[in-house]
Structure 1
């Protein structure tokens, strides 16, 4: 079941992310904010009453036509069934995203699963994608984290976002 998250999901989101390397763990407080303040642009997936997936996102403050996907977490037991893509498409279908024509995310160069997920989503949306360095390993992370590549997907039509099953 896919649904809007609620603040009570924050601790479960934190546990889920901790079980999904290489995702960066945020504080539980951050996860509480994701599940409450950003519930219109985030999604929780339940399997047998347990949190099995979570996608956090937000509309870019200066560009409300762009949905930024912050994190995609899927429990190991729920992988391989297309859950991540379904969660993102669920967000795109919501009233809060009616103006969205672009999707952005950051991905480390070696995260092949995320590259495959988002490039596949771009194909389903009939949209191009462009990547560039957003946060450089040395310049921004002082060598403590791999570079984060910005992947920008779009533009896509409202009809494409609504019909990606």
Structure 2
């Protein structure tokens, strides 16, 4: 398993992966960056940098997250949420075929190991609130603002 840590606008992102794909991307408030990037992780780092600079709206990576079959099903559905859009936990549960599974869906969403690449930040409460985010609500808001910036008001 290879690992690299890079600086992002939201903290240090740590990426774990190997030839079979990316296993995990997480962010925290640490300060240590990797001095060398393993070849197998260079593509994900480039794509994350492009995302943060506004030049990328979707990712083209081989993913290999660890989780239950149900979690993986939820994470696959998250990848269908378009850049700049949001869905509620209830909407997500309905898309997965069982609105009564909303708590299980929310739990799987919260355990998403692939920060940004599998866009769990695009899931919000039914009332439009920014409910729950493992990386912190300030990061969720920042990501949603990046993807859907406020319109500039006309001065005239």
TM-score bracket, shorter-length normalisation: under 0.3
TM-score, structure 2 as length reference = 0.26
Structure number having the greater strand percentage: 1
Q: Highest Rg: 1 or 2?
A: 2
TM-score with structure 1 length normalisation?
Answer: 0.25
